[in-house]
Structure 1
Amino acid sequence: MGLRGTVRVPGDKSMTHRAFLMGGIAEGTTVISNALLGADCLASLAAVEALGAHVQQTEQEIRITGTTALKAATIDCGNSGTTIRLLSGILAGSQETYTLTGDESLQRRPMDRVTVPLATLGADIEGTYAPLTIHGQPLVGTTYTLPVASAQVKSAVLLAGLFATGETTVVEPILSRDHTERMLPKFGTDLTIQEQEQGRKIRLQGPVRLQATEIDIPGDPSSAAFWWAAAILGADSRITTEHVLMNPTRTGFLQVLRQMGASVEITNRRETAGEETADVTLMTTSLQAVAIEGEQIPSLIDEIPLLALLATQAEGRTVIRDAAELRVKETDRIETVVSTLRKIGAQIEATEDGMIIDGPTPLVGATVDSAGDHRLAMMLTIAATLQPEIEVLGNEVVEVSYPTFYDDLKTLQQTNP
């Protein structure tokens, strides 16, 4: 049985984190609508409140009155790598001492990828894993070249640059998610972006105080991707996701779907908060195997578990390379995706920086565990729409990024009884 209908997925996770954190240090009251209220983003909201920002929440919007005097605090970032890494940038140039910690999973994730570049601005941060202790210091702008594409590292350095004296420049060899540099001008910050042969340079002059603004957050394409995959894989399926973020650094998954043979219908294009949005419709499709590698990877890193599932139903051998970053996500996503998909019948093997999948392979019933990973839980649930004898344990973890996931699934199932 396929799925049919229309879904409006929750607000974009990356944009919500940034809106909360920037609003917390902006002058005035920032008004945010359609924010994602999953566990990770709520960690960022609680963090700015702990630092002295004033937060008011209604059903329609969140209002954050920012503060410059960031109070000393111990902040629990939960399972949110974005919260701890971006906060590290904000707090490095503040006046107090701060402790950033998180749950057991977060404490296993490496933080030196952020603490090392922040040190080039003069940051004093103890710890290579959480908990981190940050001693606020006067910072001096610098030029930092990213060794690998990383939106979190880029964002941490740029946010530290707001508090630094002089010019801060980030050079990225491959474009990563650019929500920070799109959103900072909304908060009144002047950025210059220069595209060069050797990389993309983003510059800002500090110190600078952000100014409050209004932000309407579009739907998260990483959440919409689960319904795109479900529409492709299901029999007689057609699903439209409304008002989805179409940032070019986030549409790699749609491009790969087209490569695999899917027909992607994009309508109702418009702009909000400096970002393009649209409605996206997909339907049942036969898939062909592809190679996914290189510059494609940063724009679809979160969708690779889904791509692995799609590849099990595609004709031929799919190869995913250059995705070693998956090994330091909520879990080692390469190992967990490979081991769980094997349990449900996939012909899949792990490589050092990706995986190889042969298809098409019928899925078989099994009990599988989310391993505490929200994206793995949702991917396995989509697999269960194809093979109802798949039972997913630990599916409550979807609260991290998509609290209404199972409600929306039920609606789509009822539309096509």
Structure 2
Amino acid sequence: MLTISKGYDVKNAEYIPAGDKSISHRIAMLAAMSKGSVMIRNFSQAKDCESTLKCIEALGCRIEQKNGLVEISQGKTPEGKVLLDCGNSGTTARLIGVVASFLGIESTIVGDNSLSQRPMNRVVDPLQKFGINIKSRKGKLPIEVIPCNNLSANFNFDMEIASAQVKSAMLLAGLFNKGRLTITQPAQSRDHTEVMLKNYGVDLDVQNSYIIMEGVQIPEVSGEYEVCGDFSSAAFMIAAALVRGFELTIKRVGLNPTRVGFLDILTKMGAKIERYNVKKVDGELTGNIKVFPSKLVGVTVSKELVANAIDELPLVAVLGAFAEGTTKVIDAKELRYKESDRIKSTVTNLSKLGADIEEIGDGFTVKGITQLKGTTLNCHKDHRIIMSMAVAALGSLGETKIEDSKWVNISNSQFFEELKKMVPGSVTKA
């Protein structure tokens, strides 16, 4: 358990985020499907990405980690059925079955208690229709995978909900399909998979609402690859700077347009934010951000921005509590299917701090400028809720104790150390 308080006053700070989780997952899985050997710089140290490395190692990959680098190459194909333990990682659980199928390895996909309660059929069902031999147990883990690496279907997949994980699973399967795969999206979701595939020479026709892939296209993932800084990690520090009113510089962070919807929301709320030194690194936009003290106002966040800010929406609720007027988030039903029901978790914990917040069917409303007061919180072992409430605690009177603070390790084991460095005196052991 840790205690969060306002700490000391800060005028300015600097932050360099660790490697991006989403990209780290994807480069590891693509490397597992390739015949090459790749050296990855700045690979995420998050527990979720560690789960992905363990899974591809179980599938026969050789993993070497040294001097902050991760090298992935092909090893010996395992004999018999393989157990793939995804820990708490939903991305791993939803994508690794395609990798196992392609490699021709019979597998059982499992996870921890939390992951075992999360829905899997939205990935399993379309993969089955596509021709992958995969099945879940009543829509949840465990998932059984029977090798099937020779697809030959012309398949049209109309996504009901914009989901980068579902889309990525289908695209990975499309790599070993002899026919045409057409994916239609209701809204744009993060496109790290498309960017990475194109970076390695895969021919994709990508428009706003659809993606077309034709024929077998297994890329050779070799040489070096650099993972940009994780924007989702940076988002918590941006929010902390806005809550406490100090200037913040963030360096070498990913600025993929489908990932930074949070910045667009903050701009609507009146935040003064600058992006500079923007360039492409291995296909991904990377650059620096400067955040200035700003007076925030409430806004409505709907479908157009939700998909590209899904992980940061609990932070929008936090900032809404410090903004003038009402902040409303709608069309965010996807939040209910994360590590916790993030709509309920966000509303419950901010309410305990004294925020005027109300849950609605697919989102929440927050009326701002109510002084928050420290209390004891339980964040349902959800790393993003823990970090969001820590930011809220920075602007609260007194001390806030977070009972399940250790679960930040799922995405950023250094979060509280980084927060304490940025705002001295803000984090202590309870």
The TM-score by the shorter chain falls in which range?
A: over 0.9
Check if 1:162 corresponds to 2:175: yes
Counterpart of 2:3 in structure 1 is none
The match for 1:336 among 345, 349, 352 is 345
Q: Deviations over 1:49-80 (max 9, x none)?
A: 00000011012310000369576411110111
Equivalent pair of 1:330/1:373 in contact (CA under 8 Å): yes
Cα distance, 1:205 vs. partner? 1.9
Match of residue 135, structure 1, among 138, 146, 149: 146
Aligned twin of 1:24: 32
1:105 aligns with 2:114: yes
Residue 415 of structure 1 and its aligned partner are, at CA, apart by 11
1:313 alignment partner in structure 2:
322
1:202 is displaced (CA, Å) by: 3.2
Amino acid at match of 2:147: G
1:397 and 1:202 mapped to 2: Cα distance?
Answer: 39
TM-score between the two structures when normalised by the length of structure 2 = 0.92
Distance 1:378-1:179 versus aligned 2 partners, 3 A rule: same
1:209 & 1:284 partners in 2: Cα distance?
45
| Separation in structure 2 between the aligned mates of residue 357 and residue 102 of structure 1, nearest angstrom | 34
Secondary structure of 1:164's partner?
coil
Task: Supply the distance in 2 between the matched residues of 1:217 and 1:181 (Cα, whole angstroms).
Answer: 15
Alignment of structure 1 residues 2-81 onto 2, 5 Å: 2-3=9-10, 4-66=12-74, 69=77, 72-81=81-90
What TM-score do you get using the length of structure 1 for normalisation? 0.95
Higher relative contact order (CA closer than 8 Å, sequence separation 6+): 2
Tell whether the 8 Å contact from 2:33 to 2:218 is kept in structure 1 after alignment. no
Dislocated runs of 4+, deviation >4 Å:
67-71
For 1:273 and 1:415, locate their aligned partners in 2 and report how far apart those are by CA, in whole Å: 38
Contact 2:176/2:215, CA 8 A, preserved across alignment:
no
Q: Aligned partners of 1:403 and 1:303: how far apart in 2?
A: 18
The Cα offsets for residues 14-47 of structure 1, whole Å up to 9 and x where unpaired, read as: 1010011111221121111011111001111111
- Structure 2 residue runs of 5 or longer lacking an equivalent are 1-7
Does the 8 A contact of 1:151 with 1:177 survive in 2? yes
CA contact (8 A) 1:383 1:390 kept: no
Distance 1:362 1:243 in 2: 35
- How far the C-alpha of 1:268 sits from its partner, in A, is 1.6
Following superposition, the deviation at residue 94 of structure 1 comes to 4.2
Is 1:149 aligned to 2:162, yes or no?
yes
SS of the residue corresponding to residue 165 of structure 2 reads helix
Paired residue for 2:417? 407
My pick for the range that moved more, 44-53 or 134-143, is: 134-143
Tell me which of 173, 184, 191 is aligned to 2:197. 184
* C-alpha deviation, 1:226, in angstroms: 0.6
Relative to structure 2, which stretch is displaced further, 269-278 or 134-143?
134-143
CA contact 1:189–1:210 (8 Å) conserved in 2 = no
| In 1: Cα distance, 2:369 partner to 2:78 partner | 54
**Kept after mapping to 2: 8 A contact 1:219/1:245:** yes
Query: Aligned with 1:267: secondary structure?
Result: strand
CA distance in 1 between partners of 2:34 and 2:78 (Å): 11
Match of 1:258 in 2: 267
Percentage of identical aligned residues: 37
Q: CA deviation at 1:93?
A: 4.0
Match in the other structure for 1:225: 235
Say whether the 8 Å CA contact 2:32–2:99 is kept in structure 1. Answer: no
Query: Following TM superposition, by how much is the alpha carbon of 1:210 offset from its aligned partner in structure 2, in angstroms?
Result: 3.5
**Cα drift, residue 193 of structure 1:** 1.9
2:130 matches 1:121? yes
Paired position in structure 1 for 2:5? none
Letter in 2 for 1:175: Q
| Cα 1:415–1:242 shift into 2, 3 Å | farther
Query: In the TM superposition, what is the alpha-carbon distance from 1:209 to its structure 2 partner?
Result: 4.8
Given that 2:32 and 2:61 are in contact with CA atoms closer than 8 Å, whether structure 1 keeps it comes out as yes
Q: Describe the superposition over 1:275-315 as per-residue Cα deviations: whole angstroms up to 9, x where unpaired.
A: 11111111322110000001110000000110000001111
Report the CA distance between 1:270 and its aligned residue. 1.6
Correspondence for 2:391: 382
Change (3 A) 1:70 1:173: farther
| Residue identity matched to 1:292 | V
CA, structure 1 residues 366+415, in 2 after alignment: closer, same or farther (shift >3 Å)? closer
- The answer to whether the 8 Å contact 1:324/1:354 transfers is yes
Q: Secondary structure at the match of 1:219?
A: coil
Alpha-carbon distance in 1 for matches of 2:214, 2:386: 39
How big is each residue's C-alpha offset from its partner over 1:376-410, in whole Å with a ceiling of 9 and x where there is no partner? 11111112222241111211111111121122112
1:86 to partner: Cα distance: 1.0
Deviation at 1:246, TM superposition (A): 0.5
Query: Is residue 121–residue 164 contact of structure 1 (8 Å, CA) maintained in 2?
Result: no
Quote how far apart the aligned CAs of 1:2 are.
4.0
What is the alpha-carbon distance in structure 1 between the residues aligned to residue 126 and residue 205 of structure 2? 20
| 1: CA distance, partners of 2:345 / 2:73 | 41
State the SS of the aligned residue for 1:249: coil
State the secondary structure of the residue aligned to 2:312: helix
User: Between Structure 1 and Structure 2, how many residues are aligned?
Assistant: 412
Kindly indicate whether the alpha-carbon contact (under 8 Å) linking 1:370 and 1:392 is maintained by their aligned counterparts in 2. yes
Give the whole-Å Cα distance in 2 for the aligned partners of 1:379 and 1:335: 14
